[in-house]
Structure 1
Amino acid sequence: MSGATLRLLDRAEKEILKLPRAVKGAIYDFQHKFRNDPRNKGLRFKQLKNSQLYSARVNDDYRALLLHAGGTEYILVAVEPRGEVYDHLDRYRYQINPVTGGIEFLDLVVAEEVVGGNGNGRPQPEPRPEPAPSPEPVAAAPLFAAYSSEQLLDLGVAEPLLPLIAKITTEDELLGLVSYAPQLTGEVLLALHDGASPEDVLEQVTAPVAAEEEVDTEDYAAALARPATAVTTADADLREVLEQGDFGRWKVYLHPTQRKLVERDYNGPARVSGGPGTGKTIVALHRVKHLVDRLPASGGKAVLLTTFNKNLAADLEQRLIALAGEEVAARVHITNVDKLASEIVAESERGRARRRLDDEKARKEWDDLLAEENETRWDAGFLHEEWSQVILGQGLRTQAEYFRARRAGRGRPLNRADRKRIWNLTERYVMRLENNNLSTLRQVTERAAQIEAARARDRAAYQERQADSPKLQDESGMRLRPRYQHVVVDEAQDLSAAHWRMLRAMVDPGRNDMFITGDTHQRIYGNHVSLGNLGIAIRGRSSRLTLSYRTTHEILGTAVRVLGGEQWDDLDDGRDDLAGYRSVLRGAVPELRGFSTWDAELDGIVQQIRAWDGDSIAVCVPERRMVAEVETRLAKEGIVACAITADGPRYVEAPVHVGTMHRFKGLEYQNMIIAGVAEGLVPAARITRFAEEDPLRHRRDLRTARSLLFVAVTRARDNAVITWHGTKSGFLP
């Protein structure tokens, strides 16, 4: 044969990433040569003892193990030291999983070693001397003794691992196996260990990835085509894996469970929730590609992809181009919701633009008004949020409407007299803004929602007239067409009610109209909404992702403890929690370090960055002033760093990024320092005064502060270091 197709099994990718850099380069050269001519004498390609396994030379010291899938199809399943490939071939197992139909490859020796704590299957340093032996402990019961082999196999567990699973007695042993086992095996075992019943595991874990047709366990060509067999094929894809590692790959990887959500045909709006690192954004991006692929070839930007802030929108654009290419991205309008609202208002009210105020400046206007009115019952923050979230958020036009309005999640109760006074104050506030030719972002969003709602009503009226008179055609028909055929929203938890009313009006209700991803545990801007009350009915079309592909088990554990057992909503008048949220990744336990002063903490930050000696490093802090102070100290020490602004990092290539916790929303880094997590900073000291005068508001502010720290900790992929000076935050374990 003159050429062959070579695919790289995902399990092999993960093992290859642990190899020396020179070996990785040799692997890239090898696979390119193999595809051109596997019979090249320099490759020393040969079959191993009448099995479907073949070996081929990578370099003098390493050999590639290849699984023959029929014809000219081969799968690279492992790269091993030369001496280990030809000895004890019975250590290798390969099979087609009868449940998923995917190809699985196992090295039973490595599996035994990772369960025993030797995570890479290689010799480890000599252990430290043990203290004098204590009395023999009672033998622990195997963790999975309650489940029969048949039950485990029905759930999709890899059969060659059953004897090893039967011997597991500790969580550390379980996590060791999960780090190596096929993904479904790991997910099933973790779910059972977390207390889920076999029936629930079958429904929630196994069924979403099960093959839809009967599986022929001898047909490797068919198995290659199934989503359960995750492989890399192209040279460029392999080069990206070798250069960026698993950190680069996971950003575009689609698990079979996620693929079903992406490709499903929904009879209306759909929502996908899940904790940090579960792939919500990946699902949203693949959903966009799926929708664009189904559009007619001609046409403009028929899909809207939107999120809360500017730097997230910029990140989404870069990732969509990387995933789907410029041609797909050209059919998508990618922007943040506030910019979208501003564009709509500017388009509708040409020549009447007002100067825009951000929330901080809007609160300053409230402060000035309250001083003029000698009003002391309410502070500027409370009134700004009441006006923004309740009055503007619900589109209230009259005092009577405000008297009847629900104030869910607002905390401090208001009687009729309170509401009357607040209404009068908001009227004066609005007049004050108008007299100074000012408007807030919330006002702009509310105005955009009104414009789009009116446009939707006109469109519906036109469609009714057209139904009565089929030949009716006029300019209004073109002008009133919906702005988009599909709307995809990422980081949905931070959008306001006005944002949602605007988006709802931009697309006609119907099949696949809206696709929404988010996690209310990461809500950091205080917007509480019920989608059902805003015309976005997601009941029966909500899904939840529970497996983290980014956050390690250890980082996840620390982050969840930060939340402190608080309750969160699900964007639809229900409750959301992190039950079943788990990670199959293992890593270093986050380090918690205290310092006497902020200056000493800055020294500690410098030392840690130097210890990591790489890129994809970030430092996040609770206050804006601290960003400049960190930047200054790093520059003084010769460390190149840049701040993350509203538009993203000023200099993306800088090895270290610095920003406030808010700026890290939606981003991820391999190494994170979360600094300044001290009493009085996290949470901010200013909220303590509400503990007595407005306990509900105090609790809400504490919950938001916990969410912000939760977001910060879960930005870390591999390593997290949390520091403080003085007294550590009460949120920390």
Structure 2
Amino acid sequence: MRVADNYRLVYSVDSRKRVVCLMMLDHRDKIYDRLGADENGEPGFRIIAGAQELVRRELTPEELAMAHAVLEQMRSQKETASSDCPLPMQLDSITLSNWGIPAHYHDALEVVGTDTELLELEDVPDDIIEKILDCLWPPTIEEVMQKPVRVAFNLDHIEEAADGKRSLASFLLMLDEEQLEFLTRFQGDKQPQGPWLLKGGPGSGKSTVTLYCIRELLGSLRQLNLFEEDRPLRILHTTFTKSLERASDHLLDHLDLGVTRNKVEVKTVDSLAFWNLPVEWKQLRAVTPGEYVKAAIAECNKQIPKFSFTLDDAHFLAEEIDWVLIGQGICSLGEYQEYDRTGRGRALGQHQRRHLWQLYEVLQKLLRQDGACLFSERLKVAADTVTPQYDYVFVDEAQDLKAV
């Protein structure tokens, strides 16, 4: 598609999903190179997606010979290539301004001559450098096709992105058919009732689906008129780290939730636990068990004849205390001796379990003397004292959390 006189826009249409996807937008002098134009400047024919019957067919001898020649050329270029690649153009203030690069970075960028110099700039943020790299070496159509598709819920959002006021990361990823099917649990004319469990491998989009679920839930509750002022509905979205909390908050702010956005709180599990602790526990400093377990082992070796563990066992003992004794909410030696530890990777007899429990008691004493507690202890105490506060709770990265 022609845009004004000098720009070209490339887009794809999925009529089944009723989706139009913006693929590329660039100056006419560059767009055809990115599309793989031939020597006459005409776009070449290349299979970039679909048409598997063509992709999987047997190659002719001529095509195989051409492929081998291209591979040899690529190997030769790789062997002779310099580690310092000159920039395809000199960076100047006008170009950087057109790319939306803040003026206070221009002086540092205008003296850069190679990609290595650009990547090693210490005073320019990574996202700015990444933006410049994309402008200097824009991706080909094949590379674009491999990138995930993001969804714009509002035309204004596209204009904000074009003006540099909105990052691409603020757009949610598009869901596939299986993920869209999961959203139906939050749609309809009845109030959604959990619990729900969403499983998937790393990078499969679980966190993205969670945010879509919150969006659909708010839409359903709005239609059911469940936002009365005398009953302020509250939704909690928990994450595992502060960075995930910030990212989730940022994405929720750009989901067009309107006035219902204030119905959703995003918190890490640790911060949620802290605010539900009794006053005396809030005064304790939260630590990891490492060094304290080593001190407890040394103390136990002095107090307990033929103690079952040494300093070499410190990591194992810290994990056992964190994930089993505290993480599973075990409150007594008897309960621990009955607990099924299948899958922990190391068997423990009754004698060893008794010694480990004694170590745990010494560890707690050392922590309190130092005005400290374990992060996992905070979770256990908060779980014992918390009262219901939310109507819906979404737990992200649940596999990283302890049972308590």
Query: 1:385, 1:364 → 2: CA distance?
Result: 13
CA distance in 1, matches of 2:330, 2:200: 33
* 1:425 maps to 2:354: no
Please say if 1:492 is aligned against 2:398. Answer: yes
- How far apart are the structure 2 equivalents of 1:269 and 1:341? 21
Q: Partner of 1:334 in structure 2?
A: 266
> In structure 1, how many angstroms separate the alpha carbons of the residues matched to 2:171 and 2:38?
29
Show the counterpart of 2:294: 367
Q: Alignment partner of 1:446: what SS?
A: helix
Q: Distance in 2 between matches of 1:168 and 1:230?
A: 37
Kept in 2, the 8 Å contact 1:301–1:332? The answer is: no
Q: Which residue does the alignment assign to 2:275?
A: 343
Change in CA separation of 1:165 and 1:231 when aligned onto 2, cut-off 3 Å = farther
User: Distance between the aligned counterparts of 1:267 and 1:280, measured in 2?
Assistant: 19
For residues 332-368 of structure 1, what are the alpha-carbon distances to aligned partners after superposition, in whole Å with 9 as ceiling and x for unaligned? 12111111111111xxx23564322321xx3222222
For 1:386, which of 320, 325, 328 is the aligned residue? 320
Choose the corresponding residue for 2:214, options 288, 291, 298. 288
Counterpart for residue 5 of structure 2: 60
Give the TM-score of the pair, scaled to structure 2: 0.59
SS at match of 1:413: coil
- In structure 1, what is the Cα distance between the partners aligned to 2:359 and 2:327? 17
Residue identity in the other structure for 1:406: D
**Shift, 1:415, TM fit:** 0.6
- Distance in 2 separating the partners of 1:168 and 1:95: 29
Work out the CA distance in 2 between the residues paired with 1:327 and 1:231: 19
Structure 1 residues 393, 63: CA separation in 2 closer, same or farther (over 3 Å shift)?
Answer: closer
Could you tell me which of 240, 257, 267 is aligned with 2:161? 240
Residue 491 of structure 1 deviates from its aligned partner by 1.8
Are positions 1:409 and 2:343 aligned together?
Answer: yes
Whether 1:310 aligns to 2:239 is no
Contact 2:152 2:158 in 1 (8 A): no
8 Å contact 1:252–1:323 — kept in the other structure? no
User: Any idea what SS the aligned residue of 1:429 has?
Assistant: helix
**2:377 alignment partner, one of 432, 437, 443:** 443
Q: Which amino acid aligns with 1:399?
A: L
**Runs of at least 4 residues of structure 1 off by over 6 A?**
176-181, 228-232
Cα deviation 1:269-315 (Å, max 9, x = unaligned): 22223334432221111212222333322344611100112222122
Higher strand share: 1
Q: Is the 8 A contact 2:161 2:168 kept in 1?
A: no
- Asked if the contact 1:241/1:248 (under 8 Å) is kept, the reply is no
Residues 154-200 of structure 1: CA distance to partner in whole angstroms, max 9, x if unpaired?
A: xxx98xx5874574769x99xx998788x9xx99xxxxxxxxxxxxx
CA distance in 2 between counterparts of 1:368 and 1:124 reads 73
Does 1:279 pair with 2:212?
Answer: no
SS of alignment partner, residue 330 of structure 1? helix
Residue 445 of structure 1 and its aligned partner are, at CA, apart by 0.7
| Partners of 2:318 and 2:52 in 1: CA distance | 60
Aligned-partner Cα distance in 2 for 1:350–1:402: 29
Tell me if the contact between 1:302 and 1:484 (Cα under 8 Å) persists in the aligned partners: yes
**What secondary structure sits across from 1:323 in the alignment?**
coil
Alpha-carbon distance in 1 for matches of 2:376, 2:321: 9
Partner Cα distance (1:306, 1:95) in 2: 35
Query: Cα distance, 1:403 vs. partner?
Result: 0.6
Structure 2 gap segments, 5+ residues each: 24-32, 41-48, 68-139, 187-191, 302-306
Q: By how many angstroms is 1:402 displaced?
A: 0.6
| 2:285 aligned residue | 356
Pairwise mapping of residues 88-99 of structure 1 onto structure 2 (< 5 A)?
96-97=15-16
Judging changes above 3 Å, is the alpha-carbon distance between structure 1 residues 324 and 234 closer, same or farther for their aligned structure 2 residues? Answer: closer
Q: d(CA) in 2 for partners of 1:330 and 1:229?
A: 24
Q: Matches of 1:167 and 1:244 in 2, distance apart?
A: 46
One-letter identity of the residue aligned with 1:286: Y
1:242 Cα shift?
7.4
Alpha-carbon contact 1:396-1:402 (below 8 Å) kept:
yes
Aligned counterpart in structure 1 of residue 37 of structure 2, from 102, 107, 122: 122
How has the CA–CA distance of structure 1 residues 124 and 250 changed in structure 2, closer, same or farther, with 3 Å as cutoff? farther
Residues 168 and 95 (structure 1 numbering): CA distance in 2 closer, same or farther, change over 3 Å? Answer: farther
- By how many angstroms is 1:246 displaced? 9.4
State the shift of 1:254 in Å. Answer: 3.8
CA distance in 2 between partners of 1:488 and 1:436 (Å)? 35
Q: Show the 5 A alignment for 1:321-720.
A: 321-325=253-257, 327-345=259-277, 349-350=278-279, 353-359=282-288, 362-374=289-301, 377-378=309-310, 379-452=313-386, 482-498=388-404
Q: Is the 8 A contact 1:392 1:442 kept in 2?
A: yes
Distance 1:162 1:241, change over 3 A: farther
Q: Does 1:258 align with 2:179?
A: yes
In structure 2, what residue type is equivalent to 1:442?
S
Contact kept in structure 1, 2:308 and 2:355, CA below 8 Å: no
| Unaligned residue ranges in structure 1 (runs of 5+) | 1-54, 66-76, 79-93, 108-117, 126-156, 188-227, 456-481, 499-733
For 1:433 and 1:162, the matched residues in 2 are separated by 62
Q: Give the Cα–Cα distance (whole angstroms) in 2 for the partners of residues 309 and 330 of structure 1.
A: 21
Q: Distance in 2 between matches of 1:231 and 1:168?
A: 40
Alignment-mate amino acid for residue 294 of structure 2: D
CA gap of 1:231–1:284, structure 2 versus 1, over 3 A, is closer
Query: Matches of 1:59 and 1:397 in 2, distance apart?
Result: 72
State the secondary structure of the residue aligned to 2:199.
Answer: strand
CA change 1:241–1:62 in 2 (3 A) is closer
TM-score (norm 1): 0.35
Percent of pairs with identical residues: 27
SS at match of 1:270: coil
**Corresponding residue number in structure 2 for 1:475:** none
Match of 2:104 in 1: none
**1:419, distance to aligned residue in structure 2 (A):** 0.6
Aligned partner letter, 1:331:
K
Q: Which amino acid aligns with 1:322?
A: H
Shift of 1:442: 1.1
Judging changes above 3 Å, is the alpha-carbon distance between structure 1 residues 229 and 428 closer, same or farther for their aligned structure 2 residues?
closer
Q: Output one character per residue of 1:343-397: Cα deviation in whole Å (capped at 9) or x when no partner.
A: 111xxx23564322321xx322222222223257243322222122111122112
In structure 2, distance between residues paired with 1:355 and 1:389: 20
Q: How many residues align?
A: 292
Let me know the Cα RMSD of the aligned residues. Answer: 4.3
Larger helix share, 1 or 2:
2
